[in-house]
Amino acid sequence: MSHRRPASGPAGGAAGGARRWSGAAAGAAAGLLVAVLLAVAVTAVAPVGAESGGLTAQDGEPPELSGGERLNDTAVELVISDDSGVNLASIDRSEFLVSAGDIDAVSARESGTDAHVVVRLAAPIDEDELTVAVRDGSEISDVQGNRIDTEGFVGVTIDGMDAVPPALRRLEVPEYGSDAIEYRLVFDEPVDSFEVAIGGPRKLRLDREDFERVRGSQYVLTYEPPVDGVYTFEVLGATDGAGNTDTFAAAQSTEVQSTSVRAVASIDLSASSGLNFTFDASQSEQRARAYLWEFGDGETATGERVSHTFAPGNYTVRLEVIDEFGNVGRDRLTLNLTEGRTDVSTGGDDGGPVSVVHSGSPRPTDAQVTVEGSDPEESLMVRAPSVGDPLVATEVFSLEELMVSPADGRPFGVGLSVLPGGDERLAGAGDAVGGEPVAGFHARPTVDDGALSAVRVRFSVARDRLDAAGVDPENVTLARNANGTWTAAPTSVRSVSRNRASFGATVPGFSRFAVVATTDTDEGGGEENGSNIDGNGDGDQPTNDQFAVRNVSLSETSIEPGGVVEVQAEVLNNGAEPGDYVAALSVDGTVVQTREVLRIPPDGESLPVTFTRQFNESGAVQLSINGTAAPELTVGDDGGGGGPFSFLSILPLGFLPLGLLKTVLLYVVAPLLLAGGVLKGVASYLGY
């Protein structure tokens, strides 16, 4: 039996080589296919992550603010944590907000995959707690591009930041005294300790334990001098709860006469007008037999009730009351008939003076305002004589200031008095507006509404009173009673602090007013108090052409549903004085958000304002800021038919994001189908 060996000539070698080549080609094709499929899978995962909220396959979580601590009086350190590493280049000063003070600088350093961020304040603050928050829509991200989630509040609160010593705001010492003298200290914050020295016929050292804390940061001592004479009351120093200490050089004297009679000098506001004042001493000692008045300008008068006309200036009016035994009681009033004037016009200093007179106490319940002539083109600012003091106030309510726009040049006066929330004169305000009056005030003018173009009112309410009524500051409205009818005035929230909420409102004239805590909330998308800012942006705004909004732009003009857009603009101040402005963002004609732009420089200078808004529903949206329109925003598909994946709309896949389905089809299913076709062709060619 014979055996044939395979041919070893050229023909046989060629056939063997062909077989070897075909096996190698099949192996190479299979390896290439595996590589292609791996590349496709890696490529597909990243878009899937991008379509699912900006998270990557390598890092499925965005960075987060995980803690913070105090470094020194003006610096805190925050920790931003992430699994893959924080992008330090995305961290700067504009990404953070603070509850007190101003941010001076922000620096960041790596610590493993975390970032330690140092936030430095421009100056020490007078608050024990400092809250540092990441701004809404922050650009802070990790190295994979995942942005920090700012949906909801993102911040930390750090204790022990109070580094400002207490300040003595006021020392109240009577000029004259008898059997008992009341000394009152008013600091700018509650203090833990202070030291006082009394000098005179008897010397004494006192501290915090000798005084009674009557309210807030006020401390009172009732001292009974052992003998008559002149006593000096001196405040030496004080320490607050954070251990900050300051020394003072504040001293006043009291002349003590144990046989003195009670003297009370007051002003009858209802009988006073302009620079003519009627003084009344009827609340003095019942057995008084003589009254002597000195007006501070060289003029004098006698009698229980007298009148006097002043020239503009500062005066101390003194009263001496003499009883039937010759004992003397003394009192005094301080009149400031020049402070409180503010000339807003750009045409010079020809405007009329504004005079404000009240008792000078921390919470005066009555005040008299006088305007001696005015320019109809001016707005006159009415404030208390002492900076920072209210015009009239109670513990619950403070009337901070008035901005009056006269319609003609007539002089006029206004008597102001506060009304408690339960006052019968506020009856009907709650029913008309829909809430509960928490306070009020009465402004009694000497002219009718026709003499005024507008009056802007700025007032504040204690937070604890609003909390007791169960309402937020956004639900506070100023109501005006005109001809027996209560109506709501456009009211806006100016600021909210821990203790008080400040508001602004515009009214056509003076009358009786009620501050109403409304019980129903507006569901129209965020417009405060129903319509405090109209389509032109006027809430508590100037009534002239001082401000303008320009260059309104969008960060994007087309977004998917659920996307976020920044609306930016500039607020221009054409006036001659710095000013504040309330910018209002409108969506399709409805105000949805407001921001206060403070201290805008004058003479054509501007400051930026930015709003951030999320849109969930598809369609065209028209945005504007105070009537100045932005480019049209398109949310979702613009009606182009949906492209090659429009058929997905008919499938029962509503529980999955459309972007995810498109990504899977484009980057996974399509490449697999293509690869399958290639493999089938190769196999057919090789005879498999």
CATH code, 513: 2.60.220
Distance between CA atoms of residues 676 and 91, nearest Å:
47
> Domain for residue 590, yes or no?
yes
560: left (phi over 0), alpha (psi -120 to 50) or beta: beta
More confident residue, 560 or 346: 560
The answer, yes or no, to whether residue 564 has pLDDT greater than 90, is no
> Domain for residue 59, yes or no?
no
pLDDT bin (cut points 50, 70, 90) of residue 404 is confident
Query: What is the DSSP pairing of strand 130-134 with strand 96-98?
Result: antiparallel
Distance between CA atoms of residues 113 and 266, nearest Å:
71
pLDDT bin (cut points 50, 70, 90) of residue 575 is confident
pLDDT of residue 460: 93
pLDDT of residue 521: 45
Mean pLDDT of 273-278: 82
CA torsion through residues 528, 530, 536, 539, sign: negative
Taking alpha carbons only, the member of 481, 483, 502 closest to residue 491 is: 502
Residues sharing a CB contact under 8 Å with residue 684, sequence separation 6 or more, in sequence order:
none
> Can you say how many angstroms the Cα of residue 29 is from the centroid of all Cα atoms in its chain?
68
Residue 465 and residue 411 in one domain: yes
Backbone angles phi, psi at 469, to 5 degrees: -80, -10
More confident residue, 496 or 326: 496
Assess contact for 297 and 284: CB atoms under 8 A.
no
The answer, yes or no, to whether residue 281 has pLDDT greater than 60, is yes
The long-range contacts involving 63-67, CB below 8 angstroms and separated by at least 24 positions, are 63/115, 63/140, 63/141, 63/142, 63/146, 63/148, 64/148, 64/149, 64/154, 65/134, 65/148, 65/154, 65/155, 65/156, 66/114, 67/156
Q: Tokens representing 677?
A: 């076709």
Of 518, 533, 562, the last residue of a domain is 518
Residue 363 and residue 478 in one domain: yes
CATH code, 95: 2.60.40.1220
Q: What angle do CA 621, 622, 626 make, to 5 degrees?
A: 145
Strands annotated E in 148-282: 155-158, 168-172, 176-177, 181-187, 191-199, 204-207, 212-215, 218-223, 229-240, 245-256, 266-267, 276-280
Residue 461 and residue 608 in one domain: no
Distance between CA atoms of residues 171 and 236, nearest Å:
12
Residue 191 and residue 82 in one domain: no
Distance between CA atoms of residues 444 and 428, nearest Å:
19
pLDDT bin (cut points 50, 70, 90) of residue 112 is very high
Residue 630 and residue 551 in one domain: yes
CATH code, 191: 2.60.40.10
Q: How far is CA 658 from CA 236, 522, 647, 661, in A?
A: 73, 34, 11, 5
Residue 374 and residue 492 in one domain: yes
Distance between CA atoms of residues 139 and 119, nearest Å:
17
Domains held by the chain: number: 6
Residue 404 and residue 299 in one domain: no
pLDDT bin (cut points 50, 70, 90) of residue 212 is very high
> Domain for residue 664, yes or no?
yes
Of 133, 158, 183, the last residue of a domain is 158
The answer, yes or no, to whether residue 533 has pLDDT greater than 70, is no
Of 309, 336, 363, the last residue of a domain is 336
pLDDT bin (cut points 50, 70, 90) of residue 535 is very low
The answer, yes or no, to whether residue 205 has pLDDT greater than 90, is yes
Mean pLDDT of 551-571: 91
Residue 319 and residue 448 in one domain: no
pLDDT of residue 186: 93
pLDDT bin (cut points 50, 70, 90) of residue 347 is very low
pLDDT tens per residue, range 14-36 = 344 444 434 444 454 445 554 44
> Domain for residue 535, yes or no?
no
Q: Which segment of 83-97, 221-235, 385-399, 517-531 scores lowest on mean pLDDT? A: 517-531
Mean pLDDT in the chain?
Answer: 78
Residue 124 and residue 188 in one domain: no
More confident residue, 109 or 611: 109
pLDDT of residue 75: 96
Q: Which segment of 99-108, 313-322, 330-339, 495-504 scores lowest on mean pLDDT? A: 330-339
Distance between CA atoms of residues 584 and 538, nearest Å:
9
pLDDT of residue 378: 64
The answer, yes or no, to whether residue 425 has pLDDT greater than 90, is no
Assess contact for 149 and 60: CB atoms under 8 A.
no
> Domain for residue 96, yes or no?
yes
> Domain for residue 342, yes or no?
no
The answer, yes or no, to whether residue 349 has pLDDT greater than 50, is no
pLDDT bin (cut points 50, 70, 90) of residue 616 is confident
Residue 463 and residue 583 in one domain: no
Q: In this structure, what is the dihedral angle of CA atoms 227, 233, 237, 239, given to the nearest 10 degrees?
A: 70
Q: Which segment of 151-160, 179-188, 561-570, 635-644 scores lowest on mean pLDDT? A: 635-644
The answer, yes or no, to whether residue 656 has pLDDT greater than 80, is no
Domain residues for 309? Answer: 266-336
pLDDT tens per residue, range 357-397 = 655 556 777 777 777 656 666 677 787 766 567 888 888 99
Residue 447 and residue 360 in one domain: yes
Residue 200 and residue 241 in one domain: yes
pLDDT of residue 545: 65
> Domain for residue 344, yes or no?
no
> Domain for residue 669, yes or no?
yes
Distance between CA atoms of residues 285 and 158, nearest Å:
56
More confident residue, 482 or 525: 482
Q: Which segment of 10-19, 227-236, 477-486 scores lowest on mean pLDDT? A: 10-19
